[in-house]
Structure 1
Amino acid sequence: MNADYIGVFAFIVIGAVLAWKSRMLTLSGAIMAIFVGCCIALGFGIEGIVLLGTFFISSSVLSKLNRKKKSSLVDIHEKGSTRDWVQVLANGGLAAAFGLAAFIWPTPLFILALGISLASANSDTWASELGTMSRRPPISIRGLKRVATGTSGAVSFWGTIAGFVGSLLLAVVATLLFQLSFEIFFAILLFGFLGMLIDTILGAYLQAEYICSKCGLHIEKPIHCHEEAVLCKGRSWIRNDTVNFISSLSAVVLGLVFFSGY
């Protein structure tokens, strides 16, 4: 095996282990992160790993901010800030697939696809993490009324700004790493941010939301207060991880269609 590949693999494993030890990832999440990282490294080299690391580190750091306020959201959200294998796959699975595809069939379009998929994931994460820190409750795009902080399908001013900056960060880093043109930079920025908006729409209309039959709290998980909750919105099989994957895939497809006709 090439020494460069051994070095990159060791870097990926060490990074995943450190993320597990620091409770950014569960054990299953760390194993999946190694798989995702290796796939990306095959197609995009160390540049792809740095781009993936930019997303993971920045989003993980943000998830640890203001823990006291975010602790109140544990009852609402299905999962916490420590990512398991499903969350890693939902946010990095597309990037891994593009890495394998680029290894088999190298083309600049896969770099664009990689950039958009990670920019979309980063934009959504930044919007969610910083949006929950806003002083005023967000507004649901479904009912145009203020709802509880952390509600899927709701937007806030600072959350939207954070989502744009999150996409911008990934677009800038991707452009510097891969020496991309301004057109590709703009496409990553635009469609990465669009992925966050699609995520919000799906969260408002299709993502499952339940009402606890015991305490009456609106939640994302089907079990609460040790009892089965009642589905009040969306589809039971469409949860946050599903929405994340679909929104990133939609952003990538739209970006590739747009750029191919540019």
Structure 2
Amino acid sequence: MDSESADLTKEYIKMMTDMIVLCATLALSLFFWIVSLTLSAVSGNLQPVSPWRWLLSILVPLTMAVRALRRRSLDRSGALAALLVGFVLTMANFSFVSTMLTFFLTSTKLTRWGAEKKKKIEADYKEGGQRNWIQVFCNGGVPTELALLYMIEVGPGEIPVDFGKQYSASWMCLSLLGALACCAGDTWASEVGPVLSQSQPRLITTWQEVPVGTNGGVTPVGLVASFLGGAVVGGAYFLTQLLLVSDLHLADPQWPIVVYGGVAGLLGSVLDSFLGAHMQYSGFDSSIGKVVSYESATTRRICGKPILDNNAVNLFSSVLIALFLPGMAWGAWPR
């Protein structure tokens, strides 16, 4: 009886906590909306942000951060960082946050998939792939900055990708999508390749066979997975556009967004592997029988130098894709 009472008490406390959080979220979103209206009335040239957008900008990141914290996909610092990233992306454009959520959810699922096999080959394997604030900002920092620039350019809201009508904003949209697709492609390749690949990885710089887990090692399965990961992220962006943008028929075709995401995922994975082969140390530690990123008396060097870690390589790859890929897409975009 005591255990039943304790369980009921816990359920009651959980329900009350959820209600308090929801009420606080509603109050906070209403407060931000009033501030937005006030600033718009004073300046005369600002458009007030909808209270629904304020509400979703707080509620969606909060829900996802709490869920990720409970499932140990993020630690506390990662959850706080995700709140900031999620708030900015949701406020700027719902296509942005749907893309980020697709990347995060699929990556989390794939990280947990094939855990037993990954434990045997990864020296720094973490149960559930728990991410901290550094990893969150290395993957979401560039998109967050682009979302802020997007809001300065056109304000919060959804627009079609159309270089003829919204050149700079369209560039920012594709840059943001490219950065997230790059991260998704690299994650899908690194999570799917070791589990499904039947062939030994080859170092991207020399094409010599290397042990599984070597930075810069690629497989055909991993490359295909990187394209699919980017395409899935691009598909989430495209689907959100179809649902929320009313004048898509007046803009350039939007379906290339899916292909663009796939290309960004593939190129991002290749670029990540190239940087990893040169700037990340990989060595085989005979004492544990695994590839490691540190030098020791029992370690035989495979490739790379200890210049960057995995987070920095991810960041550099996403920055380069965000900077250069939209220019290539602009010339090839159908009109």
Paired position in structure 1 for 2:218: 155
CA gap of 1:88–1:256, structure 2 versus 1, over 3 A, is: same
CA shift, 1:80, in A, is: 7.5
Other-structure match for 2:184: 122
Which residues in structure 2 correspond to 1:121-200 (within 5 Å)?
121-133=183-195, 134-179=197-242, 181-200=254-273
Q: 1:78 to 1:251 in 2, by over 3 A?
A: farther
Cα separation, 1, equivalents of 2:174 and 2:76: 30
- What does residue 325 of structure 2 align with? 255
Of 89-98 and 252-261, the range deviating more from structure 2: 252-261
Q: TM-score, normalised by structure 1?
A: 0.87
Q: Is the 8 A contact 2:271 2:317 kept in 1?
A: yes
User: Contact 2:237 / 2:257 at 8 angstroms: preserved in 1?
Assistant: no
Q: In the alignment, residue 145 of structure 2 is paired with which amino acid?
A: A
1:261, distance to aligned residue in structure 2 (A): 4.5
Task: Tell me the CA shift for residue 8 of structure 1.
Answer: 2.6
Spell out, residue by residue over 1:97-135, the C-alpha distance to the aligned partner (whole angstroms, 9 max, x if none): 111111111222211111111111111100100011123
CA distance in 2 between counterparts of 1:70 and 1:176 reads 33
Give the TM-score normalised by the residue count of structure 2.
0.69
Which consecutive residues of structure 1, in runs of 5 or more, have no partner in the other structure?
none
Identity of aligned residues (%): 27
**Shift of residue 73, structure 1, vs aligned partner:** 3.3
Counterpart amino acid of residue 204 in structure 1 = A
Deviation at 1:219, TM superposition (A): 1.1
**Alignment-derived partner of residue 18 in structure 1:** 67
Aligned partners of 2:279 and 2:305 also within 8 Å: yes
CA RMSD of aligned residues (A): 2.7
Using the alignment, how far apart are the partners of 1:24 and 1:239 within structure 2?
20
Stretches of structure 2 lacking an aligned partner (at least 5 in a row): 1-31, 34-50, 155-168, 243-252
**Which of structures 1 and 2 has the bigger CA Rg?**
2
- In structure 2, how many angstroms separate the alpha carbons of the residues matched to 1:240 and 1:210? 15
TM-aligned CA deviation for residue 23 of structure 1? 0.8
Does 34-43 or 177-186 show the bigger shift?
177-186
Q: Secondary structure at the match of 2:215?
A: coil
| Aligned ranges 1:95-114 → 2 under 5 Å | 95-106=143-154, 107-114=169-176
Greater CA drift, 231-240 or 29-38: 231-240
Relative contact order (C-alpha < 8 Å, sep 6+): which is higher? Answer: 1
CA distance in 1, matches of 2:264, 2:66: 32
CA distance in 2, matches of 1:238, 1:78: 20
- Distance, in Å, in 2 between the alignment partners of 1:33 and 1:214 is 37
Larger mean Cα displacement after TM superposition, 203-212 or 193-202: 203-212
